[in-house]
C-alpha cells in the first residue's frame, strides 16, 4: 500500500473515533431512507467509509478500461459480422434475435462495468468479468457519494487531503446525448434540443431506486424524463409513446424485463419500435454479446490474439486471469497442454467455477473454499445437464477494513474482501465504486455492500 494510503486510512480511523461514528451511520441511514434507496425490503447496503485509492492509480484505470472495452467491441463485431466465438457467446432465442438489430450508432458496449480485483500494494489489477447489457448502481452511487462528502469525518479530512470523486450520472448524461446525436446523424434527422427520455425497467425491479435516481437527475437538468415499465409503451408504427407522451431516448435495465415470458407479450410495442429503429435505445441489446463469463477466454487464449492490437494484447496478458469455457477439450494452461475437465477436477485449489451466463454472484464456486464433492458435483452437473460453466484462475482477494456499527454502537473496524468496479462510458473510464463483503463472492446480492471510491492526494 502506498504511503498516502497508509496515512489516509490511519487518519480516517483516528478521526472517525472522535466524530461519533454511530451518529454518522444513523444520519447516513436516514438520508438513504429519504432517498428511498431500498433493495427489496431493506436499505441498500453500505459501510461508513469510502474506499481510498491513490490518485496516481487513475492513469492505469483509464488505460485498462479503454483497452478492455475496445477489445470487447471487437469481439462483438466479429461475432455479429463473421459468426465467430459461438463457443463462448451462447445467445439464442429472443435475445439473439433482438441483439442482431443494428442500434443505429457505433459500438455495442456503451455503458459497462468491469469487475476488478486490485492490489494497491503492487498495483496488480485483474479483470474478473464484464457487466455489459444492464449494469446497475450508478444512480445509487451518486446519491451515496453526496452523503459521504457531508460526513463530519470526511469534512475534517478534507482539511489535510484532496479528494477526487467521479459523478457517474453526470458522465452518463454526456454519453447518453453523444450516442443520441450519433443515432440522429445516421438516420439523417436533426437531434432535438430536449428529447423526451424514459428510464426503463420492470416496476418491481430490485434496482428500481437506482433508475429513479436517474429520472430525478435528468428532470433537474430540465428534460422531460419518466420511468417506464416495458409493458407501458404504445407504438403506432412511427412514434413510441409512454402515457401519451412521445419518447425519443431510452435507457434500459435488464433485457430479461422484456424477453422473458411474463413480460414478452405485453412488451411487443416497445420491441417493434426497437426493430423499426424508431427510438434511440441504450444499451443496445447487442451489448449482451459481452455478458458471458467465457468472453475472457478469447482474451487469454493465444489462438485469438490475432484479432487485437499489441497494446490490447499486453493489457490482456497483464490484467486478465487465465479463463476457459468448461468443455471436454484440450487447451493450454500457462504453456502446458491439458485435457480441460480432468485438469479442472485435479486443481480445485487454484480455480474458480462460474455459470457462463450468471449474474449477482449466484452459482459461483471458489475451489479452495469448497470440498471435492461440491466441486466435482458442479462439473458433473455441467456435463449431465449441458450447462455451460466458465473456469478461471483464482485471484487473491484484496481486503480493506471498514467500520462496524451494530444497534447504534460502534464496534471498531473489521476486514472485508473488496471488489473494485470500474465504469466505462462509451469506452472511456468514468469512475469507480467498490463492493465489500465477508465472503469470497463479493456482490450486494450475496450480502455485500457498496461504497464510493475517493481518489486521494496531499494538499
144-167 pLDDT, tens digit per residue, is 999 999 999 999 999 999 999 999
43 vs 198, residue with greater confidence: 198
441 vs 261, residue with greater confidence: 261
Predicted confidence at residue 226, as pLDDT, reads 97
In the predicted model, what is the mean pLDDT of the chain? 95
Flag whether pLDDT at 446 surpasses 80: no
Q: Partners of 331 in the beta sheet?
A: 338
Flag whether pLDDT at 134 surpasses 90: no
Phi, psi of 445 (to 5 degrees): -75, -15
Q: Is 398 exposed, middle or buried (0-12, 13-18, 19+ CB in 10 A)?
A: buried
Establish how many alpha carbons lie within 13 A of residue 103's alpha carbon, considering only the half-sphere containing its beta carbon. Answer: 26
Predicted confidence at residue 416, as pLDDT, reads 94
Counting residues of the chain whose pLDDT is more than 70, the rounded percentage is 97
Q: What is the mean pLDDT of residues 397-425?
A: 95
- Antiparallel, parallel or unpaired: β 124-131 and 111-119: antiparallel
Q: How far is CA 384 from CA 327, 357, 360, 376, 378, in A?
A: 12, 17, 24, 12, 10
Predicted confidence at residue 9, as pLDDT, reads 97
Flag whether pLDDT at 443 surpasses 60: no
Q: Is 293 exposed, middle or buried (0-12, 13-18, 19+ CB in 10 A)?
A: buried
Q: What is the mean pLDDT of residues 401-425?
A: 95
Counting residues of the chain whose pLDDT is more than 90, the rounded percentage is 90
Predicted confidence at residue 77, as pLDDT, reads 97
Q: Which residues of 93-120 are buried (b: 16+ CB within 10 A; e: fewer)?
A: ebbeebbebebbbebbbbbbbbbbbbeb
Residue 164 CB coordination number (10 Å): 13
Predicted confidence at residue 1, as pLDDT, reads 59
Which segments of the chain belong to CATH 3.40.50?
171-282
CATH of domain 171-282: 3.40.50
Q: Which architecture, in CATH terms, is 322-393?
A: 2-Layer Sandwich (3.30)
Q: What is the mean pLDDT of residues 232-243?
A: 98
Predicted confidence at residue 75, as pLDDT, reads 98
Flag whether pLDDT at 252 surpasses 90: yes
Give 342-365 pLDDT, tens digit per residue.
Answer: 999 999 999 999 999 876 567 899
Flag whether pLDDT at 284 surpasses 90: yes
Flag whether pLDDT at 445 surpasses 70: no
How far apart, in whole angstroms, are the C-alpha atoms of residue 88 and residue 371?
Answer: 27
Which segments of the chain belong to CATH 3.30.1490?
322-393
Give 36-65 pLDDT, tens digit per residue.
Answer: 998 877 888 899 999 999 999 999 999 999
Amino acid at each position: 500500500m502506498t504511503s498516502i494510503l497508509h496515512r489516509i486510512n490511519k487518519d480516517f480511523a483516528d478521526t472517525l473515533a472522535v466524530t461519533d461514528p454511530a451518529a454518522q451511520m444513523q444520519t447516513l441511514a436516514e438520508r438513504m431512507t429519504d432517498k428511498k434507496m431500498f433493495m427489496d425490503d431493506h436499505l441498500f447496503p453500505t459501510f461508513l467509509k469510502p474506499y481510498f485509492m491513490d490518485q496516481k492509480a487513475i492513469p492505469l484505470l483509464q488505460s485498462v478500461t479503454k483497452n478492455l472495452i475496445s477489445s470487447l467491441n471487437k469481439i462483438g463485431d466479429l461475432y455479429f459480422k463473421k459468426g465467430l466465438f459461438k463457443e463462448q457467446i451462447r445467445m439464442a432465442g429472443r435475445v439473439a434475435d433482438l441483439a442482431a438489430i443494428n442500434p443505429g450508432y457505433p459500438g455495442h458496449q456503451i455503458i459497462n462495468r468491469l469487475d476488478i480485483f486490485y492490489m494497491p500494494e503492487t498495483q496488480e489489477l485483474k479483470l474478473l468479468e464484464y457487466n455489459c447489457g444492464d449494469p446497475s448502481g450508478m444512480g445509487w452511487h451518486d446519491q451515496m457519494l453526496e452523503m459521504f462528502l457531508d460526513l463530519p469525518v470526511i469534512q475534517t479530512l478534507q482539511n489535510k487531503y484532496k479528494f477526487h470523486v467521479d459523478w457517474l450520472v453526470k458522465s452518463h448524461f454526456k454519453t447518453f446525448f453523444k450516442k443520441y446525436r450519433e443515432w440522429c446523424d445516421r438516420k439523417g434527422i436533426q437531434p432535438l434540443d430536449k428529447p423526451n427520455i424514459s428510464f426503463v425497467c420492470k416496476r418491481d425491479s430490485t434496482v428500481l431506486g437506482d433508475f429513479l435516481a436517474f429520472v430525478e437527475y435528468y428532470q433537474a437538468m430540465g428534460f422531460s424524463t419518466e420511468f417506464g415499465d416495458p409493458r407501458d409503451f404504445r407504438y403506432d408504427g412511427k412514434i413510441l409513446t409512454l402515457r401519451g407522451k412521445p419518447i425519443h431516448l431510452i435507457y434500459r435495465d435488464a433485457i430479461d424485463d422484456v424477453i422473458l415470458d411474463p413480460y414478452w407479450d405485453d412488451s411487443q410495442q416497445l420491441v417493434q419500435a426497437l426493430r423499426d429503429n424508431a427510438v434511440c435505445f441504450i444499451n443496445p441489446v447487442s451489448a449482451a454479446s459481452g455478458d458471458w463469463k467465457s468472453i475472457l477466454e478469447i482474451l487469454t487464449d493465444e489462438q485469438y490474439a490475432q484479432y487485437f492490437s499489441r497494446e490490447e494484447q499486453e493489457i490482456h496478458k497483464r490484467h486478465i486471469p487465465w479463463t476457459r469455457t468448461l468443455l471436454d477439450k484440450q487447451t493450454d494452461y500457462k504453456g502446458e497442454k491439458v485435457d480441460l475437465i480432468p485438469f479442472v477436477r485435479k486443481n480445485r485449489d487454484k480455480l474458480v467455477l462460474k455459470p457462463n451466463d450468471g449474474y449477482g454472484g449466484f452459482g459461483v464456486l471458489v475451489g479452495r473454499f469448497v470440498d471435492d464433492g461440491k466441486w466435482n458435483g458442479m462439473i458433473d452437473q455441467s456435463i449431465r445437464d449441458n450447462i455451460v460453466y466458465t473456469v478461471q484462475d483464482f485471484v487473491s482477494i484484496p481486503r480493506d477494513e471498514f467500520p462496524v456499527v451494530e444497534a447504534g454502537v460502534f464496534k471498531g473496524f473489521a476486514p472485508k474482501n473488496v471488489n473494485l468496479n470500474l465504469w466505462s462510458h462509451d469506452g472511456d473510464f468514468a469512475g469507480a465504486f467498490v463492493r465489500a463483503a465477508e465472503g469470497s463472492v463479493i456482490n450486494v446480492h450475496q450480502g455485500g455492500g457498496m461504497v464510493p471510491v475517493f481518489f486521494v492526494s496531499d494538499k
